[in-house]
Structure 1
Amino acid sequence: MSQKSLPPQINEESHPGPLEAVIRAETGGKIRSFLYQLAEGVTDYRSIHSLTEQVRHQYHGRFAIELIQNAYDAVSRAEEQEGALSRIEMRLELDGERGTLFVANDGAPFSHSNFESVSRLGQSDKDPTTSVGNKGIGFRSVLEISQRPQIWSRRFETSHGFDGYCFGFAPEFVRSIHDPVLAIIERRSFSEAQGWFAEIVEEDPSLCERLCSGAQRVQARGANSITDWLREEIGYLSPYLLPWPVTERSTTVDDFEERGFASVVELPLTSLAAVSLTERKLAEITADSMLFLDNLKALTITTPKGSRTFRRSIVQRAKGPRKLGKVSIGCEDSTRTFSVWRRKVQVSDMPEPVQESIRGLPGQWPKLERAEIAVAVSDDSEPTPGKLSIFLPTALETGAALHINAPFFGDMSRTTISFDTEEEGAQAGGTYNEFLLHQAAVLGLEAISSDLAGRSVGEAANILDILAPTASESAAKDRWQEHLSRAATEMDIDIENAPWMLTDGGWCALCQASLLPLPSDPKVLCAEELRKHAAFPAYAAGLDTRIGLIESLSGRFGIGVMPTEADQAITIEAAVKTLACDPELDWGHFWQDVCNIFEDDLSHLKGKDVILCTDGTLHSGGVAGRAIYFRPRPAGQDDDSSEEPGIDQVPAALQSFIAILDPRIPVSEVRDGRRQNTELHKRLTDARLVNTFRREDVLADILAPNLPPMPVARGTRDVELCRDALFYALRLAAS
């Protein structure tokens, strides 16, 4: 056949192999069907063309995931799983302004069923419980970036090369049928180059005559010339239903063949924009993409910017009633470990409305026998919103920092999932999808109760990942919390009061545990200091990265995350008693932290020994019959206060109820050449913890009320008290 008659890479061999003959026969049959429709004025091919365009738009941006899905299905079908390499490799190569994306796997070779699925829109025979993608539809997602996809495959797993289904699609091939069809209509003989087309029409000797008759009817209507009509109708014939054998291949395909891969998808990219989109979508692939691909061991992504290989391994095989296992996914220097719980539910055990929902689904779905639900949490230090997966992640978040996989019934591209019940008039499968999500909630609570609670800080973090609402949209959070609440009720669990929160003192209930009341920028009262003296059950230090989850979970139940002000005051009192032993302590920073903790309302510290005074000890302010005073300033600086020798030197017998604030507490500073009060001075005054020193107040409010009844007996402590009171009063009067 002439090289001009068919597009590049689509060549005719004089002696085609058995699979090449199958490929040619498939396309020949479809071309004959198209010619029959032309002859009879039927336009089913237009509907298929329209559906192809619709699929391309609905799968926008999903081609990378779809390619992984199809490759993974092949890996899962491999006869030998235990010793298999189980690889998928995605490689983007640039050539000038364009490039080519290759996707290779070393699973089972392309089967006849696979070939039919790819070349016949929407005719995949995959089991929704064991297979990821829909080759008949999902493969069309590549049309977003490529118009000439090609597939190279071995015939058997033991084959030494790509001797199986090797074929491609191209718009040029469809356009190439125009001239031979026109030759039939014009009753001309085929040229030597059109001999391949003769083989197609010779299958039915009546076809040519019927086609001529149909063309005459079109010509009689006179709308278009026969040539224009034919070209227009051929334009509606989807090239992606017409595979043709390919033989010429790139060195990259040769490389994949030599390295033992079973099949390769080759996608010449259409434009620079397609290259950019491909780079972006490949960059979006993360370890999460491999989480539920149990049979995959390695996923390599190579672009001109570098190469990444994700390696998946089993850390702990699934065991126990909840099939708890651990999976490790590593890439370069980063490794993530996931705990995964699984449960299978027989369809026959599902409620009747759920079974009815399944029976209303299309394709192979009514044959569904069981569904496996899996929930997974990671050991990541920073939690991130999890995704709902149908083997691979969808666009929907779970509503928490956990991942959920189940054979949900999703939209065509498996990007979204409907959870609206059929009674509400929504799309099919909503009741079934709701059931699966509810089973995930039950499994999650069982995992907490039996496998996580009462163990270490890692498990405590996982509990928060499962329970706490976290998502970029409220619908996902609300949906997950609703299922958790229903599951908890069914299981007679009170989440708010269950001992599922790890604190420094052990496990306790959500309503009992509190976060540390840390200042926004700790100077002295750091987490370690507060934790050491906490008068309340403080969340364990290892949960610091889960503070956001703690806040959202507590908010869900209307619980405050901070300890009471009374417990905070007790904690600060205990802390400062230790801190005060350090002669280098910066008291200004200490009080800055305290003001920040209490949001400048220091009244909660009344009665707490937290104020350093000139006698070197800590005193409590705001207590009846006792007072702490600001140190008097020199005359002229603070109204009626003056500093005379001895005024701030309180006699020993009076020190239990009169104290002078230590000068290390920064309650004044020089501003604009004058000594002025600081903000701390105002806070201490407003809280009535420290008073301004006025002689009459000291005499009337403190000294007089604390004097014993007269007369006092000699040799008693009252004598010392009266003596010191008299001397101090005279000192005040003389100042």
Structure 2
Amino acid sequence: MLSPEYKGRVLVELLQNAHDAHRARHGDGRVEIVLDEDEGEHGVLYVANGGRPLGYKNFEALCSIGLSSKRPDEGIGHKGVGFKSVLQLTSAPEMYSVTSSASKAFDGFCFRFARDDDFDWLADQVAPGHPEAADQLRANLSSLKVPVPVDDVPAAVAPFRRRGMVTVVRLPLRSAEARLEAVRQLRELTDDGAPFELFLDRLGKVTVTHRVGGRGRPSVYTRKVDTLFTSRDLKIQQITLRRRTRLIMVTAAVDSERAREAIAAGLGSGPLKDGWQALGNSAVVSVAVPAGNPLERGRLYTFLPMGTQRICPVRGFVNAPFHTDVSRRTMAESTQWNDLLLDTAAEACARATALVDEGRVVLPAGTLIDLMCWEHDQVRRLELAFKAQDREFDAVPFMPVLHPAGTRTAYRWGYLWRGPDQARVLTPHAVAAAGVKHVIDPQLHPRRAERLAALGTARGLGLVPPVSVLADWAESVASALAQGEFDAGKWADYYHDLSVCFARTGEELKGRKIVLTVDGKRAPAGDPGLFFRRSDGPSAALPALPPGLAKSISFVHTEIAWAGRKTSRRSRGRTWLEEQGLVRDYSPKALLEVLGDAMRKVREDDEALREHLLFACALWASSVDRHGKRPVIKGLLVPGRKTWVPVTEAMFGDGWTGGHGGIDRALVRFFDRTEAVSRDLVAAADRVVRPAQDICAGTRTDAQTLRRFLEHQGVRHGLLPTYVATSQAVKGQHLNRPSSFP
């Protein structure tokens, strides 16, 4: 007659009964559980409570399988069969109670249930002379229907009354196997992974003692409640359990109209039975999540932990009057009632999160994440709960950020970033200190961070910042560093961190002002005029820069600690800057490459342009690569008659020596005689380079050297072809006779 589903649930069922013996809404009840392996042949299990004494209705229910004096909303147990599970551990359970709270000893219902030899006595009383009657009774009558009075209370039971207990269940264990099973159940009950006392709101203290070999220290499980927020249908509490374990519990009332509808559907064609209607106006759902470190997995409860077969939607504990199988290990098949309870759990989480956002309640950062990070296949419930509040899930701020302090961000804007490995400067805290918002606090527990990232990915909202965003952050950190006092080591560490974070993506940093120069300002990385200056090597012998050119050239701060005791780490930052093309080594070739750009910046300053040109000539004269070739300068300008023109469009004129002097002079005469012929020729005449003596005046530059330099750069001797675009109508019949064109 006893369902096998109750196997392994004896202790849970007895604890449920002990809890229900106390008055609701008091929260100060007491229960004692003792497993004494030294007593009797195989040990004895005790479960005692300090609630209401055992009355006649309770006695009648215990002796009638399937009969219970409680409605579903009056306590944890209500099916009336849980107590029968004790037969798995004992052949004759015993009960001891008092008549009233004033009793000094167990003077109320004190009885045990029938043993095998009791059926012999009973058969002799009802059917004397029929020896077969005892066997017939044993085969057809449950021992739990035959209570036997106990006149002498065992010595081990009496101390429970002195400690304030009013009812004691005593189970002499039937075998060594039963003892091992009792030990297993006790360990399962006290497992920290699912605190049994969490939702036992009628209790304030549970004492558990496992005595073996004369030794056994009581373990005390307390439950302290602090209310953080309360309204008509929502309550938020902090529950403090064993070893100061703190959890935040959100309790929401189930909407009564929806509850009655779901119960009616379950009664009509579903699995619910009569009696469930009582929950229509009283059902509540609680969600409890840790205030400290997160859980590896959640657990469903029906006041006490259910089995692990059913996945909990949150990494916490969800308690509700679910419709379950008989043993309450697993939820029954999907029902409208169970769906409603899970929807209410989602609504509780959404409402609690909204209250925090509105500043009406304060909760730990990790708690909010646990309330929001539902399992992927269940998160739709949470989305609908927020939609009912006219909120979008992805826009709900619940993730703690570093800046501004004490604020939160949402999936839509937040970034989860821990910085490069072993970073010292480019860290999330440094990014936040530079004024960047929406950087999620990296101190989040790794499990919570992983869940945030996984849920974001599942929703197509990755929390990992893209390279472009990281580049913005790097620039912000450089700005903050530049505003503070110069720290040679910190700047070197900053560039090392960049080399790790942007190991192969340095291109993204080009144009960002991240390079500290000798004047304490920041220059854009990748700028053609940005150089490392060495105290030795070819760059040390370069001529001084002309004032105009110096404005286009920047040097990396020479005091940055690229070397020292941390040489390998810090020098890596400098090497990386060169490898990624963000800073170049100062050399004649590199300097010549920027002269063209520098000249365009001072195009209206004739003297500055002349200084640039003569410097380029001097640098060119001393620059020969290993193949004997000299560089060609891109974008070089030379002085024409009126303005400075690109070197590739210029022509030599009067005042230049060399073997082409006759051609140069003839060209000048040609332009003088054709000024009135064509505007294009007038424009070409303006591209004739001024005489060498005008350019070299007051300098040490040799005219012949300047001529060779300009020839190498592309200045021509003689007239450059001039291309003129014209248009006119020509009949097709004239195409074969060009001489006849109009």
TM over 0.5: yes
1:689 aligns with 2:582: yes
Residue in 2 aligned with 1:638?
none
Distance in 1 (alpha carbons) for counterparts of 2:333 and 2:559: 67
* Residue in structure 2 matching 1:322, options 224, 233, 237: 233
Task: Give the counterpart letter for 2:431 in structure 1.
Answer: L
- Residue equivalent to 2:246: 336
Q: Does 1:298 align with 2:298?
A: no
Matched with 1:698 is 591
Residues 34 and 46 of structure 2 are in contact (CA less than 8 Å); yes or no, is this contact kept in structure 1? yes
Query: Residue 404 of structure 1 is aligned with which of 294, 318, 341?
Result: 318
Give 1:380's match in structure 2, choosing from 291, 296, 300: 291
Q: What corresponds to 1:165 in structure 2?
A: 109
Report the CA distance between 1:404 and its aligned residue. 3.0
Give the Cα–Cα distance (whole angstroms) in 1 for the partners of residues 543 and 60 of structure 2. Answer: 98
CA contact (8 A) 1:312 1:327 kept: no
What is aligned with 1:23? none
* Shift in CA distance, 406/142, structure 1 to aligned 2, threshold 3 Å: same
CA distances 1:341-370 after superposition (whole Å, capped 9, x unpaired): 331543x65464641213542353355543
Measured at CA, do residues 713 and 501 of structure 1 come closer, stay the same or move farther in structure 2, by a change above 3 Å?
A: closer
Residue 322 of structure 2 aligns to a residue whose secondary structure is: coil
Offset at residue 565 of structure 1 (A): 2.7
Q: Report what 2:468 is aligned to.
A: 566
Residue in 2 that maps onto 1:28:
none
For 1:452 and 1:709, the matched residues in 2 are separated by: 53
> Normalised by the size of structure 1, how large is the TM-score?
0.70
**Residue 627 of structure 1, CA deviation:** 4.0
Q: Which amino acid aligns with 2:112?
A: G
State the Cα distance separating 1:528 from its structure 2 match: 2.4
Q: Pick from 66, 81, 94: which aligns with 2:37?
A: 94
Match for residue 444 of structure 1?
349
Is the CA contact 1:536–1:567 (under 8 Å) kept in the aligned structure 2?
no
The Cα of 1:593 is off from its aligned counterpart by 2.9
Q: CA distance change for structure 1 residues 276 and 259 in 2, over 3 Å: closer, same or farther?
A: closer
Deviation at 1:73, TM superposition (A): 0.5
| Amino acid in structure 1 at the alignment position of 2:209 | T
Shift of 1:717: 6.0
**Corresponding residue for 2:487?**
583
Report SS of the residue matched to 2:19.
helix
Identity %: 24
> Given residue 297 of structure 1, which amino acid in structure 2 is its aligned partner?
G
The residue number in structure 2 matching 1:264 is 168
For residues 213-247 of structure 1, the C-alpha deviation after alignment (integer angstroms, 9 at most, x for no partner) is xx9xxxxxxxxxxxxxx869946765444432334
Q: What is the aligned partner in structure 1 of residue 456 from structure 2?
A: 554
The answer to whether the 8 Å contact 1:622/1:690 transfers is yes
CA distance in 2, matches of 1:543, 1:407: 33
Higher RCO structure, 1 or 2 (CA under 8 Å, sep 6+): 1
Q: Distance in 1 between matches of 2:337 and 2:153?
A: 46
Q: Is the 8 A contact 2:562 2:571 kept in 1?
A: yes
SS of residue paired to 1:89: strand
The residue type equivalent to 1:437 in the other structure is: L
Residue equivalent to 2:643: none
Show the counterpart of 2:525.
Answer: 621
What SS class does the counterpart of residue 65 from structure 2 fall into? coil
Matched, 1:255 2:159: yes
Q: For residue 64 of structure 2, what is the aligned residue in structure 1?
A: 120
Q: 264, 268, 292: which is aligned to 1:355?
A: 264
Amino acid of the residue matched to residue 149 of structure 1?
P
CA deviation after TM superposition for structure 1 residue 607, in Å: 1.6
Aligned to 1:27: none
Q: CA deviation at 1:72?
A: 0.4
Q: Could you tell me how far 1:257 is from its partner in structure 2?
A: 1.0
**Measured at CA, do residues 586 and 349 of structure 1 come closer, stay the same or move farther in structure 2, by a change above 3 Å?**
closer
The counterpart of 1:109, out of the listed 33, 47, 53, is 53
* RMSD between aligned residues: 4.3
Change in CA separation of 1:371 and 1:556 when aligned onto 2, cut-off 3 Å = farther
1:496 partner amino acid: D
Q: Secondary structure at the match of 1:299?
A: strand
Structure 1 residue 123: deviation in Å? Answer: 2.3
Q: Distance in 2 between matches of 1:542 and 1:711?
A: 54
Q: CA deviation at 1:254?
A: 1.6
Residue by residue, what CA displacement relative to the aligned partner does 1:527-558 show, whole Å, maximum 9, x if unpaired? 32222125342235785674334324423421
User: What code does the residue aligned with 2:14 have?
Assistant: L
Write out per-residue CA displacement over residues 424-443 of structure 1, whole angstroms, 9 at most, x where no aligned residue: xxxxxx12111222233233
Give the paired residue count: 606
Q: What pairs with 1:208-607 in structure 2 (closer than 5 Å)?
A: 234=138, 238-269=142-173, 270-271=175-176, 273-274=180-181, 276-284=183-191, 288-304=195-211, 306-316=217-227, 319-332=230-243, 334-346=244-256, 350=259, 352=261, 354-359=263-268, 360=270, 361-362=272-273, 364-365=275-276, 368-378=279-289, 380-384=291-295, 385-395=297-307, 396-418=310-332, 420=334, 430-450=335-355, 452-454=357-359, 458=363, 461-470=366-375, 477-479=376-378, 481-499=379-397, 501=399, 503=401, 504-505=403-404, 506=407, 508-539=409-440, 546-579=448-481, 581-583=485-487, 585=489, 589-598=493-502, 600-607=504-511
Aligned to 1:174, which of 84, 101, 116? Answer: 116
Letter in 1 for 2:321: P
Structure having the higher Rg: 2
Cα shift readout 1:654-700 (whole Å, capped 9, x = no counterpart): 374353685857699999xxx9998767754553323466643432x
Find the counterpart in structure 2 of residue 199 from structure 1.
125
* Distance in 1 of aligned mates of 2:451 and 2:540: 58
Once residues 93 and 45 of structure 2 are traced to their aligned partners in structure 1, the CA distance between those partners, rounded to angstroms, is: 10
- 1:116 and 1:725 mapped to 2: Cα distance? 111
State which drifts further: 437-446 or 143-152. 143-152
Shift of 1:69: 1.0
Residues 288-318 of structure 1: per-residue CA shift (max 9 Å, x gap): 4333322211122233564332322342287
Instruction: Give 1:648 deviation, angstroms.
Output: 11
Task: Provide the TM-score with structure 2 as the length reference.
Answer: 0.70
SS in 1 for 2:346: helix
* CA drift at 1:104: 1.4
Alpha-carbon distance change, 660 to 327 in structure 1, aligned in 2, over 3 angstroms: closer
SS in 2 for 1:316: strand
Structure 2, unmatched stretches of 5+, are 627-742
